[in-house]
Amino acid sequence: MDLGASKIIKVGFLAPLSGNVSSWGEPGLNGCLIWAGWINRLGGIKIGRELYKIEIVPYDNEYNPDKALSGIKKLITEDNVQFIMMLGGDTLVPAVQEVINRRKMLVSTLLPSDLSPNTPYIIAPCEVHPIYNVTAVEWLKENQPELRTVAMCAQNDSLGMPSVATYRAAFEAAEIDLVKEILFPVTTVDFKTIIKDMLSTNPDILCWDTAYEPFVHALTKEAYRQGFKGQILSCTCDNYKQLIDETSKEFMEGFVFQFPDFDDPALNDTKVNFTNPNEFFEEFNHRYPGMWTAVSWEYVSILELWKEAIMRAGTFEPLSALAAMKAGGGAKHAFGEARWWGKQLFGIDNALVGDWPVVVIRDGKARIAAFKSVTSWWDKHGEGMVRHMRDMGQMWDQKNRSSLGETG
Domain ranges of the chain: 7-129+265-353, 133-257+358-406
What 189-196 contacts at long range (C-beta under 8 Å, 24+ apart), as own/partner pairs, is: 189/218, 191/215, 191/218, 191/219, 191/222, 192/222, 192/226, 194/153, 194/219, 194/222, 195/219, 195/222, 195/223, 195/226, 195/228, 196/226
d(CA 175, CA 186): 30
d(CA 111, CA 104): 20
β-pairing verdict for 83-86 and 107-108: parallel
The residue ranges of DSSP E strands in 156-291, in sequence order, are: 177-184, 205-207, 231-233, 256-257
Q: What pLDDT is recorded for position 399? A: 81
Q: What pLDDT is recorded for position 4? A: 59
Q: Is 3.40.50.300 the CATH number for 133-257+358-406?
A: no
Q: What pLDDT is recorded for position 407? A: 38
Q: What pLDDT is recorded for position 8? A: 97
d(CA 89, CA 112): 9
**Over its length of 408 residues, how does the chain's per-residue pLDDT go in tens digits?**
345 567 999 999 999 999 989 999 999 999 999 999 999 999 999 998 999 999 999 999 999 999 999 999 999 999 999 999 999 988 888 889 999 999 999 999 998 889 999 999 999 999 889 999 999 999 999 999 999 999 999 999 989 999 999 999 999 999 999 999 999 999 999 999 999 999 999 999 999 999 999 999 999 999 999 999 999 999 999 999 999 999 999 999 999 999 999 999 999 999 999 999 999 999 999 999 999 999 999 999 999 999 999 999 999 999 999 999 999 999 999 999 999 999 999 999 999 999 999 999 999 999 999 999 999 999 999 999 999 999 999 999 988 765 545 433
Residues near 70 by beta carbon (within 8 Å), at least 6 away in sequence:
none
Q: What pLDDT is recorded for position 400? A: 72
Q: What pLDDT is recorded for position 2? A: 43
Q: List residues bridging with 126 in a β-sheet.
A: none
Q: What pLDDT is recorded for position 188? A: 97
d(CA 125, CA 305): 8
Q: What pLDDT is recorded for position 51? A: 95
Torsion of CA 304, 166, 174, 298, to 10 degrees: 20
Fold designation for 7-129+265-353: Rossmann fold (3.40.50)
Q: How many residues does the chain have?
A: 408
Angle in degrees, 0-180, between the axes of helices 160-173 and 374-391, rounded to the nearest 10: 120
Residues near 343 by beta carbon (within 8 Å), at least 6 away in sequence:
349
Rounded to an integer, what is the distance from CA 152 to the centroid of its chain? 20
| 7-129+265-353 against 133-257+358-406: fold identical | yes
- HSE (CB half, 13 Å, CA atoms) of 84? 33
- HSE (CB half, 13 Å, CA atoms) of 382? 12
CB 305 within 8 A of CB 123: no
Q: List residues bridging with 339 in a β-sheet.
A: 330, 353
Q: What pLDDT is recorded for position 408? A: 32
CB 10 within 8 A of CB 55: yes
Q: What pLDDT is recorded for position 22? A: 94
β-pairing verdict for 365-373 and 351-353: unpaired
379 burial class (0-12, 13-18, 19+ CB within 10 angstroms)? exposed
